[in-house]
Structure 1
């Protein structure tokens, strides 16, 4: 059965509001919750970027049932993989085994802040592959020394190791990333409903003797509002960056860059890629592309920090009912 999640969008809400929304999402019946991990918002109009790991620690205590996930964290530049291993282990303990570590190669927008430059795609893939290996080693609880091509670990040990191992989900976008991460990660993360990508992931895992039934976790923005015009305006104001595609989004370094790159994106362009307004059936139709492509888990992003309370009060539960009915 397809599982539906809620996105804690750190770029559009402050930390206390995010914890409150997490509780509301659990009460509305969402199966899991994912959190972005940003140092910057995509656009200045979004206006937020709290530290995701502090938020998730609070969410772990404020919720009881929903699974939690980073979607995604980059364990290679802004964070050293040894530090990610420690905080992922700690969060798994706080969440009583409900946490999955979602990782990816990152975006220049967030990683440039530590002044280490922005590597090429090929190098970022190599770095993430090595980072996952280091995290796996440290999660054994054993003393680890590591000297690789990109990272060093000197006599490190995770002292608080969770009883439930931390699953790792890796974000992939094409053949190179599938080849790199299918043998290493437990689950697949992708942001486009591409069946060939999902099939390639399962095939790559089976070829190495791993189970072929890994979870496939996707994400889709929606902009529910009673007023469609207001929804389109809000989506354009805060989410027009989405039209650039990830090849562009990964490389731009600042919110000003995203503002300039999207200055000619029209509201109607945004509405073509993001379902906007009160029509729940239109949202279901957009989401259905993911389960048709083989996604097992689909997280919704409700656009607009100020639009969350109304979404939970009026739309979340009937939307979940429609989604579950359609996905059967």
Structure 2
């Protein structure tokens, strides 16, 4: 049976707001949390970017729900050895309720050291090597590694995970689904695409979890909700590889001028139609997903949680 979690957007909310959302999510009946890992927001209107590892530490003390990163890029901004230490500590703090979602990243977050932004093929190879390094470190043994992309010299995690720490690999196409099936303990993808799920299963992922996420804007005034999405998250509708290659929020703002209000109204679930929200979220279960994380866009969080507690989540669980 599909589990329904809440998506904490570090790009849009302050640390205090994210913690409050986590508490509301549990009260509303969401059974899991996901959290984004960004150095920058997608645009200045979103306006936030708290450090995900600090947030996970705080979440471990605020609620007892499982937490998944959606997703961390462990290859450029932070060395895999440092990322492994952060993930291991998160797992210990959460008493094994941590899932480590990883991906090949976006230039938006990873270019900050001035390094060349690699091609997808190079980033996929870097991710595969990083996962290998991190798995070795999670054992708590002394690790030395000399690879194509990374060197680790006599490193040991003295606070290793005390429970299995699953690594789920993110992807948006068949090549990424194949990589996830080959090296991941699960697959992360953001659209309810049954073909991608089948590609993951066929590449070694059969029996492993598939998880996804979707953003909505619950509100009694649908026009106002559409305006909110168009102001804060037009980036969700940018085509192709733009999300991976544009380097700054200013570039995303320029590209987002191509996203019309009508495009948002047609593509994003807005308003207070319970059936529409249930259909949007339920599409993931129909496509074979094991977990789906819902994020509410905009400040009207309490109304969203009330509506999902009273109407949407019961409708999903009874279908």
Distance 1:174 1:312 in 2: 32
- Report how far residue 53 of structure 1 moved: 1.0
* Secondary structure in structure 1 of the residue aligned to 2:40: coil
Which of 289, 299, 313 is the matching residue for 1:295?
289
Is it true that 1:178 corresponds to 2:172 in the alignment?
no
Displacement over 3 Å in runs of 4+:
313-317
Q: Is the 8 A contact 1:29 1:317 kept in 2?
A: no
Aligned length: 319
Is it true that 1:311 corresponds to 2:304 in the alignment?
yes
Which of 291, 306, 320 is the matching residue for 2:313?
320
Q: Residue in 1 aligned with 2:189?
A: 190
Distance 2:310 2:128 in 1: 39
For normalisation by structure 2, the TM-score amounts to: 0.97
Write the mapping of 1:1-328 to structure 2, written as runs, cut at 5 A. Answer: 1-64=1-64, 66-205=65-204, 212-245=206-239, 247-304=241-298, 306-326=299-319
Q: Residue in 2 aligned with 1:209?
A: none
What per-residue deviation string (whole Å, max 9, x for no partner) do you get for residues 107-136 of structure 1? 111111121121111101000000000010
Unaligned runs of 5+ in 2: none
Distance 1:239 1:258 in 2: 10
* Secondary structure in structure 2 of the residue aligned to 1:223: strand
- Report how far residue 179 of structure 1 moved: 2.8
* Secondary structure in structure 2 of the residue aligned to 1:47: coil
Distance 1:93 1:141, change over 3 A: same
Aligned-residue Cα RMSD (Å) equals: 1.2
- Report how far residue 309 of structure 1 moved: 2.4
Unaligned runs of 5+ in 1: 207-211
Distance 1:236 1:160, change over 3 A: same
- Report how far residue 20 of structure 1 moved: 1.2
* Secondary structure in structure 2 of the residue aligned to 1:196: helix
Distance 1:236 1:9 in 2: 16
Distance 1:53 1:45 in 2: 23
Distance 1:264 1:146 in 2: 46
Q: Is the 8 A contact 1:2 1:297 kept in 2?
A: yes
Distance 1:228 1:313 in 2: 17
Q: Is the 8 A contact 2:181 2:202 kept in 1?
A: no
Q: Is the 8 A contact 2:238 2:259 kept in 1?
A: no
Distance 1:86 1:312 in 2: 34
Distance 1:314 1:287 in 2: 14
Select between 180-189 and 66-75 the one with higher mean Cα deviation: 180-189
For normalisation by structure 1, the TM-score amounts to: 0.94
